[in-house]
Amino acid sequence: MADTPLTRDENTTLLNIARESITYGLEHNKPLPVNVYHFSNSLQQHRATFVTLHLHHQLRGCIGTLEAHQPLIKDVADHAYAAAFEDPRFPAVTNRELSLLDIHISILTPPIPMTFTSEEDLLRQIQPGVDGLILQSGVHRGTFLPSVWEQLPEPEQFLKHLKMKAGLAGNYWSGNVKVSRYTTVSIP
């Protein structure tokens, strides 16, 4: 189930599949095909993931989904490929970069809607370093993984930048703002 921790071997398998999917993508222009039944039951569970790539400690790609819709092992393979080749912020990863990539996988818990009466109330409830947040207001939507706390450790700044990521002004507030929180298991 979603709360069952993965073993060290399963974590290693996920990291290996992510790298193999990027390698496969360089040769075939599509994600590594994965037969989910060749993997443990834990890796067959439907889980939501993000795969983040870094090159020389700089972001090189990050793609994922907020809601589980396919087996974990396939989600990681698909998102590793997408982070390497389909993140619109970056050019496609090259063969030369492949061995230098640091791959990070975040496995998300299901998001839980938060109840708050004001922006100040929301800020009091946020758990720095723990919560990933999904913010939505009308058609605007954005998320920050818990790892973003490393760059934005203050709740006010975290929320301001999340609003801007969602396409809103940093000082925007409205009664129709919806926020959900989630946590992640990070590999490695």
CATH for 152: 3.30.1490.150
Domain boundary among 60, 80, 108: 108
Say yes or no: 30 and 94 in one domain: yes
> Are residues 101 and 64 located together in one domain of the fold?
yes
Per-residue CA distances from 71 to 7, 74, 124, 170 (Å) = 17, 5, 35, 36
The values of phi and psi at residue 100, to 5°, are -95, -5
pLDDT at 185 over 50: yes
How, if at all, do strands 112-113 and 178-182 pair? antiparallel
Q: Work out whether strand 178-182 and strand 132-137 pair parallel, antiparallel, or are unpaired.
A: antiparallel
What per-residue confidence (pLDDT) applies to 6? 93
Contact between residue 106 and residue 52 where contact means Cβ atoms under 8 Å apart:
yes
Q: Please name the residues in contact with 120: beta carbons below 8 A apart, sequence gap of 6 or more.
A: none
pLDDT tens, position by position, 116-172: 999 999 999 999 999 999 999 999 999 999 999 999 999 999 999 999 999 999 999
Of 108, 133, 168, the last residue of a domain is 108
At position 170, the amino acid (one-letter code) is: G
Q: Are residues 136 and 100 in the same domain?
A: no
Could you report the per-residue pLDDT of 13-70, keeping only the tens digit for each?
999 999 999 999 999 999 999 999 999 999 999 999 999 999 999 999 999 999 999 9
Residues 17, 90: one domain? yes
Q: Does residue 175 lie within any of the structural domains?
A: yes
Q: What is the pTM of this model?
A: 0.87
Name the domain count of the chain. 2
Q: Is residue 78 domain-shared with residue 62, that is, in the same domain?
A: yes
Of residues 170, 165, 174, the one with CA closest to residue 144: 165
Residue 1 binned pLDDT confidence (cut-offs 50, 70, 90): very low
Band the pLDDT of 5: cuts 50, 70, 90.
Answer: confident
Same domain, 174 and 140: yes
Q: How confident is the model at residue 3 (pLDDT cuts 50, 70, 90)?
A: low
